[in-house]
Chain A
């Protein structure tokens, strides 16, 4: 099946892209890395008259530290996320997740922000971004807005993004010193496949070794990537250990609501949530202690 013909528009700034998107409305789609969009075009699940390619806009693929935050630009490729030293140092779970997203070729093409905007329930990179409290900076023609990532997803393939809006960047606060984090995943075609289940965790300790901050996020076990607030809460103020971690992992399992599909059965997914949550918490603790 060949792709239905369209007109390719090539804005030179994000502002220009926004006004093109506003002008052509639902008849237009934004093209960043193209790894998801081209498949949709090929299967005719979308049939736009205009494609707005962000490829020629200069300097929007940045990954940079500013005011205690890491800013990731809209065209930053997954392969750049994997190799960036700031991300490896401060956000190892994100570097790990990006490194096991799809294949070498897809990582060389696909963008982190595109991966998140497609809002697949299993999006590999959503769970680490959730535990790092990432914020989404959204551009539109009226006024820009900022929203926390845990409020960004609204359903499978759905986000709060409205017609005509474009995500400019993600802002991720640098975690405090005694913080560790981890990403865990199971899938069938080893690293290549979309995650069957994935879990990220983050633990911050105070000087006495008590937990001051905890984050647990699950992918592919609910309509959207989710945080498990209940499990996070019971960890706060506690001395970390196998018992309290197991309890948190049980809650994570209960809070998940997976479906059965070609990748895994619901029961298997639930069981894996518990196992992976425990692993992620243990690994987070280990790396928090090392710092």
Chain B
């Protein structure tokens, strides 16, 4: 026979640990803990192993600046930097991005308040209409300008050829990158 006090303990343990048990069950269905370093901050999330980086950024880390378009590597809306190189976060598994430096649109301005030179140029040059392609465009532009601060128009167009925009017709985007590159060079010579 189970005594009253034993019953109480069962009941007590059940309630204290039921949350824990349910998490464990999901764990058995092959969710894993991933640790991601995004814009210098460490994040942890329990996710399906099949989850892509952009899904985890948006759904688990609430970093919704990075956009999802085609999910097949064609549109560039999901572009982020992985160890400084631009990649499609829709074709990268979150689990693969561990132990790497991830930079998203949220992390390129020095503080959350001001804008990065490239973002500022996009705003000032009217390179943003609906804005859906913009985070990806800015990340591709950053990847270019990190390597080459004086790109030609052709080099800019080639560097952005993996990013589609349905609104602007690209001319103003190219102009914005040119303006940003001039600004970057100015700030270098001023120093």
Contact = CB atoms under 8 A, between A and B. Distances in A.
A52 to B, nearest CB: 12
A34 B93 contact: yes
B166 to A, nearest CB: 14
B143 interface: yes
Contacts of A53: 93, 95-96
At the interface, is chain B mostly helix, strand, loop or mixed? mixed
B30 A106 contact: no
A257 interface: no
B96 to A, nearest CB: 5
Interface stretch (A4-12, A160-168, A196-204): A4-12
Interface in A104-149: 104-106, 108-109
A7 B86 CA distance: 26
B73, B76, B90: residue with the most chain A Cβ atoms closer than 10 Å: B73
A51 B90 CA distance: 17
Interface stretch (B3-11, B47-55, B114-122, B180-188): B47-55
Contacts of A38: 52, 73, 90-93
B72 A39 contact: yes
A104 B140 contact: yes
Contact of B161 (A4, A79, A191): A191
A108 B87 contact: yes
Contacts of B87: 105, 108-109
Contact of B91 (A2, A5, A8, A34): A34
Contacts of B73: 35, 38-39, 102-103, 105-106
B129 interface: no
B48 A5 contact: yes
A106 B88 contact: yes
Contacts of B52: 3, 38
B39 interface: no
B50 A41 contact: yes
A49 to B, nearest CB: 10
A39 B92 CA distance: 11
A7 B49 contact: yes
A91 B159 CA distance: 23
Contact of A5 (B50, B72, B88, B90): B50
A108 B93 contact: no
A105 B72 contact: no
B124 interface: no
Contacts of B29: 5
Contacts of A271: none
Interface string B93-135: 1011000000000000000000000000000000000000000
Q: Ordered nearest first, which 5 A-B pairs have the shortest CB separation?
A: A103-B162, A3-B50, A8-B49, A108-B85, A38-B91
Interface of B: 29-30, 32, 48-52, 55, 71-73, 76, 79, 82, 85-88, 90-93, 95-96, 140, 143, 158-159, 161-162
